[in-house]
Amino acid sequence: MKNYLLIPLLLAMFLSGCSIFKGFFPPPDEFYLNQYRGYDGMYATYIFGQKLTSIDSVEVTANNAFTIYSGGQAALSSDLNTDFIADFTVSITEGSGARFRFRTTKHTLSEGRELAFVYSTTGSRVEANGTVIATLDTVRALANTPERVIITNWGRKFTIQVGCNIVYYGTSTLPTTEFIITETLPSSTVSLSGIDFIPLHRASEINTPQARAEREVW
C-alpha cells in the first residue's frame, strides 16, 4: 500500500518542476559550475551557466570548467554578486581567442551597452559599447598555453588582469551586474577552467536574477 502512495507523490514532484531535481537534471541549455564546493578543499562560488547558442557549442568538462566551440556563447552569473572578481584560466586550443562581456546581462546583449575584454593571439583590446577604447598589442595569448584572465568590477571601477599584470584600469557609468558573457572569436575553440566569482559586494534581494525576471526589468 505504501508503494502505491509513493508513486503519485513522486509523479507530482516531477510534474510540479520541483527544484530539488533541477540540479540533477538541468535543461540542456543550462549548467552549473562549482557544484561540489568543499570537495578536495575547494570553496569556490556556485555559478549558474546558460548556453546562449546551440547546446553543442558549449561543453562542460569538469566541476568548474567548460569548452566553447566556434560561434559559442555562454552566460555565467552568481546570485546577488554584482561587484566581484571573475577569475578564469583561459586556453585557446584553436583559432585566435575569446571575448568576455561584462556590465551587461544575457537579456540586454542586443542593446550593445557593455564593457568587453578581447583576449587574442594577435593582441588584446578593451571595448565599451562596441567601440575599442584601448588596444593592448603586447598582451597576446599563446595557443594551447593556459593563462589567467581576471576581471574585477567594483562600483564604477574595473580592472583587467592577465597573468600577474593588470593590463587595464578604467571607470564606467554602466551598472555592475551578476553576469559575465563568454564567447569565442570566429573559428576559435577556447577552454575555460578554474572559474570562480569572488564577491566584493552583494546586491539586495530585490535585485536577484529571479526578482528582476519577475519584474521584467532587465
Q: Is residue 22 part of a domain?
A: no
- Give a yes or no: residue 7 inside a domain: no
End-to-end CA distance of the chain: 50
The CATH number given to whatever domain includes residue 199 is 2.60.120.560
Per DSSP bridges, beta strands 73-77 and 179-184 are antiparallel
Look at residue 88 in the predicted model and tell me its pLDDT: 97
> What is the band of 6 on the pLDDT scale with cuts at 50, 70, 90?
low
Give the range of the structural domain holding residue 185, as residue numbers without chain letter: 29-215
Main-chain phi, psi angles of 143, to 5 degrees: -55, 135
The owner of cell 547558442 is 53
**How many domains is the chain partitioned into structurally?**
1
User: Looking at the domain assignment, is residue 201 inside a domain?
Assistant: yes
Q: Please report, as a single letter, which amino acid is at residue 195.
A: I
Residues 117/151, Cβ–Cβ less than 8 Å: yes
Q: Could you tell me if residue 21 is inside a domain?
A: no
pLDDT in tens, 19-69: 444 555 678 999 999 887 655 445 678 899 999 999 999 999 999 999 999
Which segment of 28-42, 104-118, 120-134 scores lowest on mean pLDDT? Answer: 28-42
pTM: 0.81
The verdict on residue 73 lying in a domain is yes
Flag whether 122 is in a domain.
Answer: yes
Mean pLDDT value of segment 108-131: 95
**Structural domain includes residue 117:** yes
